[in-house]
Amino acid sequence: MSRTPKYVVISPVRNEGRYIDRTLESVTRQTLPPTEWIIVNDGSTDNTCEQVDSFSYTHSWIRRIERPDRGYDQVGRGVMAAFHAGAEVLSCRDWDFIVKLDGDLSFDEDYFERLLAEFRHRERLGIAGGTSYISVRGQLREEKKPLYYPPGLARTYRSQCYKEIGGPRETLGWDTIDIIDARMHGWNTLRFTDLPIRHLRQVSSRNGLLEGKLRTGRNFYITGYSPLFLIFHCARRCFEYPYIVHSLGILIGYCNALMRREKLVVTAEEKRYLRQLQHRRLLGRFRAEKAVTRGVV
């Protein structure tokens, strides 16, 4: 790509008044700013809108749009419906990259410049992002994900990849499904460890940590997670903060969905692909992660 790439950002937000000023500051300070940033207010009842407006007055590429207040948070489907509402009103139609960005993050001034440079060097990189960290007892700790899994809170899509997978689906588990679909279409997906993202609120904790982990367990079930992989995941997380709450919540959420025989949100082919990926990780043969550490992907 010979010219400077165009990227657009869409942020579905609901009651982010406590954190969104840090996100607004991070984006507006970028050495490579976005062409357009649509912030979709999804029924906020705090001062989120006022904070967004204070920045949009001085940055013409920031625009706030409104969605009716449904009266409650709707993780997954509601967030993605807001995201797609933002995508529909973009003025820029020839963007090279589109970013789904949460409203409770902060990151360095050169974050997007460096991330898009990685895309430029890797022609088959379809979805990417940095690595998220949360403050735990005064120390930053990585929110651990596999290297093929850029965090859903700040995920950047190459335009061609986005079109091929049809964008994120409006469902719980969207952030697993689009990774599966992208890789099934022959795209690479990567999380870069040298691009830190500071997550100002612990993941899945908006309505309480336990409720969030129960939802994560349900998410694991409906996206087709391998039971063997689930057991190893929970066993390993028992020794990490918040210790037993994380693992027990996920196990209960998964088992509840299993007993209710909830409908999966993935196809049989997508489920099979995900489980193959997870089993390879358990066997230590996930070559993409090893290749990334050598810088050859």
- Find tokens 């991330």 and name the residue: 115
Residue 182: pLDDT band (50, 70, 90) is very high
Instruction: Report how far Cα 22 is from the mean position of its chain's Cα atoms.
Output: 18
Nearest-angstrom CA–CA distance, 68 and 239: 42
Over residues 264-270, the mean pLDDT reads 95
Strands 97-101 and 139-142 turn out to be unpaired
- pLDDT, residue 284, reads 77
> Sign of torsion, CA 255 257 263 264?
negative
Domain boundaries, the chain: 7-199, 209-294
Residue 271 φ/ψ, nearest 5 degrees: -60, -45
Residue 296: pLDDT band (50, 70, 90) is very low
The CATH topology of domain 7-199 is: Spore Coat Polysaccharide Biosynthesis Protein SpsA; Chain A (3.90.550)
CA separation, residue 177 to residues 81, 85, 142, 201 (Å): 16, 20, 23, 24
Q: How many CB atoms lie within 10 A of CB 10?
A: 24
Nearest-angstrom CA–CA distance, 244 and 177: 27
Over residues 4-8, the mean pLDDT reads 95
What does pTM read for this prediction?
Answer: 0.88
pLDDT digits (tens, 9 = 90+) for 195-243: 999 999 866 555 567 888 898 999 999 999 999 999 988 888 887 766 7
Residue 170 makes CB contacts below 8 A (sequence gap 6+) with 76, 77, 80, 81, 84
**DSSP per position, 220-282:** HHHTT--HHHHHHHHHHHTTSTTTHHHHHHHHHHHHHHHHHTPPPSS-HHHHHHHHHHHHHHH
Residue 74 makes CB contacts below 8 A (sequence gap 6+) with 81
Residue 76: pLDDT band (50, 70, 90) is confident
pLDDT digits (tens, 9 = 90+) for 128-163: 999 999 987 778 889 888 899 999 999 999 999 999
Percent of the chain with pLDDT over 90: 73
> Sign of torsion, CA 151 189 33 173?
negative
